[in-house]
Amino acid sequence: MIEAIGRALLFDIDGTLANTDPLHLKAFNQVLGPRGYVFDHERFSRELQGFANISIGERFLPDETPARRAEILDEKEEVFRTLVAGQIEPLPGLMALLDRADSAGIPMVAVTNAPRLNAELLLSGLGITHRFKALVIGAELPHGKPHPLPYQKGLRFVGASAAASIAFEDSRTGVQSATAAGIPTIGVRTSLSHADLVGAGAIASASAFDDPQLLAHLASAMTW
């Protein structure tokens, strides 16, 4: 199959490919709770979800050195990886969508603010690492989400046009990043409401990848 030059599907990982946000919330509370920060779902979605660890450290650990902030948040990621091991399930319809994109020759890219170890663990746990032409890690770039650079990088990896591609995101920062890169973005409602996602810039939202409205939109936009 010859790849469809100019088109691509770009996916966030956490909360988009799999609903891992409840485990991130638990890990943050375990590590930051003793330091005076306790998060419920609403506060998590507003202040933590989709943000890179460096910005989380600057906000919630201002009295620590940058090196110590990194150590503390590395501990949080270790807690998360322990919690998520063996519990990774794809969102409904994901595998069928990936199959369809592969059959149509549409390249796929994963774009995340998560640390590389987390991203690789989740893709491996879902058995889909091989599906993606590239894995873009925001923390390895000069700017992570909500800056457009991670998605711009993803487009460049596969030679795709922003306007002809589609991104899938579950967080405000992620939607802002993808839309700032010029990519029509569909919000996935694992944590946020339709209003929240559209308010951040998404063109539509879906409950999962088997949502009939999402499938209809993809059939029209991707012409497969």
Candidates 14, 21, 170, 196; catalytic one: 14
DSSP structure string for 43-94: HHHHHTTT--HHHHHHHH-TTS-HHHHHHHHHHHHHHHHHHHTT---BPTTH
* HEC readout, 109-144: EEEECCCHHHHHHHHHHHCCHHHCCEEEEHHHCCCC
Q: Residues 6 or more apart from 14 whose CB is under 8 A from it?
A: 20, 21, 24, 112, 114, 118, 122, 170
The residue annotated as part of the active site, out of 12, 170, 196, 211, is: 12
Are the CB atoms for 52 and 201 separated by under 8 Å? no
Residues 6+ apart with CB under 8 A from 17: 11, 90, 91, 94, 110, 122, 123, 126, 128
- Residue 12 annotated as catalytic: yes
Catalytic, 196? Answer no
Q: Which sequence positions are flagged as catalytic? A: 12, 14
